[in-house]
Amino acid sequence: MSSASWSSLQPFHTFGLPVRARKISQVTQLSELLALSGASLQANEPLLILGGGSNMLFTEDFAGHVIVNRLRGIRCSESEQAWHLHVAAGENWHQLVEYTLAHNLPGLENLALIPGTVGAAPVQNIGAYGVELADFCSYVEAFNWQSGEVERIAAAECRFGYRDSIFKHEYQDSHLITAVGLKLPKGWQPVLGYGPLAALGEAPSAQAIFDTVCATRMAKLPDPAVLGNAGSFFKNPVVPAALAESLKSRYPQMPCYPAGEGQAKLAAGWLIDQCGLKGFAIGRAAVHQEQALVLVNLGGASAMELIALAAHVRDSVEQTFGVVLEHEVRFMGAHGETWLDEVLS
């Protein structure tokens, strides 16, 4: 196949870079997966699953088959203690949060306005304002490319961690998430320990939490339809408590949270901001003016400009604080996932 017949990936990822794929297919029915998997395995070509493309940086054209997950549907049942949701992977995450509130099923409100699809949520174990997907996940259903069957994987087997799961490791190339099972306890308790939620008082409604989270995110985070971006670009670093204490003595205003025995979590956005990088640009790639944790495409940015910017931000933070940031956004090369250091080498 000549490069002229390749398909544009620009509409399928929120950075909006002018990259292409050898082939793109959109899947709306489970029955379509078996034929696609057979053809791809037979062709021995790279395979990539995309949902909303909201956490992806393509470093170059993808020399394989991109399958866009558009599976839809929400089923709800209940037990004595909880509500149980079975949600197809192609559903929009924020719209799911809205659905739960509209049906008086609280629990997910802290996770409002996180971009992407339901199927992407377990991969990253998405989280915000003290809540993670793992807090509510019962199981993940995934299509196994090798066996051609859908498997139900219990949450305990998903190896959920901070922005991490088994789907970023052993199951990355072998499983396509088709649905997620969620358990929302009927004895709902608000989670108010982070940021502006602490000012809501002792007993705010789930709707009040949702509204506050949405207002906060909209005030700081750019709309990908206006400025291409992939949300938080770097993970909040977890460092030894001794280093955190040393930095805290030099920077008393530095946000710092306990992160298990002998460790502390720092705010990557604060560290970047202290390096004076808000608004800093390389070509048409820039650190967002309002939220330093977000890198944006000002229009016409190239992948290499974003890569150079990410490297500059990481190096600046390391030189200033002795803390090495890891990118939360997935880097995708021509034949599969890659990382910043690999791209720079």
CA distance 65 to 62: 8
Helices 93-102 & 206-220 angle (0-180, nearest 10): 150
Which residue type is seen at 336? Answer: G
**Residues with active-site annotation:** 163, 232, 328
The C-alpha atoms of residue 325 and residue 236 are separated, in whole angstroms, by: 8
Helix H, strand E, coil C: the string for the chain is: CCHHHCEECHHHCCCCCCCEEEEEEEECCCHHHHHHHHHHHHHCCCEEEECCCCCEEECCCEEEEEEEECCCCEEEEECCCEEEEEEECCCEHHHHHHHHHHCCCCCCHHHCCCCCECCHHHHHCCEECCEEHHHCEEEEEEEECCCCEEEEEEHHHCCCECCECHHHCCCCCCEEEEEEEEEEECCCCCCCCCHHHHHHCCCCCHHHHHHHHHHHHHHHCCCCCCCEEEEECECCCEEEHHHHHHHHHHCCCCCEEECCCCEEEECHHHHHHHCCCCCCEECCEEECCCCCCEEEECCCCCHHHHHHHHHHHHHHHHHHHCCCCCECCEEECCCCEECHHHHHC
| CB crowding 160-174: b at 16 or more within 10 Å, else e | beebbbbbbeebeee
Among candidate residues 114, 210, 202, the one with its CA nearest the CA of residue 163: 114
